[in-house]
Amino acid sequence: MLRKLIWLFPLKWQVKIKSYYRLGYIVNTDSPSTFNEKINYRKLNWKNQLFVDCADKVKVRDFVRNKVGNDILIPALNLGADFELNDVKNAFSELGPGVLKANHNSGPVQFIEDSEVSNLESAVIDIQNQLRKFYGINNQEM
């Protein structure tokens, strides 16, 4: 019941209430100094274009490329939101073993070590299911 009531408060107060519940103290979002305070500051200031670009796994590559060059970036292939099994097969044959990951979340990955169709098929289904979920909304991340 309390969780549902928290959604009625402005976002800044939601962050403060949830931080107290989870961390045992109220985070300072006006002048953040700890890691947790900085994460919550970012949640409240999501319109900052640098935050938006650096949270995007594809766009951040351009940011890094412009700051330090291409040499530090690992090979990557953006398959887009409507990718299919054949796209992953082609990528695997081009790049070899790698990681299949959705752009919009921060957790689940699929490690692709061989081109066995059953492995690729289950990885594609998992990532496609992830792309149907809006992970940021639950964490107040726009």
- Specify the pLDDT at position 37: 92
Where along the chain do its domains lie? 1-45, 46-72, 77-134
- Specify the pLDDT at position 135: 65
Percent of the chain that is helix, strand, coil (3-state, to 5): 55, 5, 40
- Specify the pLDDT at position 35: 93
CA atoms within 13 A on the CB side of 110: 22
- Specify the pLDDT at position 138: 62
- Specify the pLDDT at position 78: 73
Ramachandran class of 48: left when φ > 0, alpha when ψ lies in -120 to 50, beta otherwise = beta
Which of 78, 88, 76 is closest to 124 using CA atoms?
88
Per-residue pLDDT of the chain (142 residues; tens, 9 = 90+): 666 777 778 888 888 888 898 899 999 989 999 999 998 888 888 778 888 888 788 888 899 999 999 899 888 777 776 777 777 777 777 777 777 777 777 677 777 776 665 677 787 788 788 777 776 666 566 6
Residue whose structure tokens are 């351009």:
62
Give the other-Cβ count within 10 Å of 102's Cβ.
21
Give the other-Cβ count within 10 Å of 104's Cβ.
16
Q: How far is CA 73 from CA 25, 42, 49, 58, 102, in A?
A: 38, 25, 21, 11, 18
- Specify the pLDDT at position 142: 60
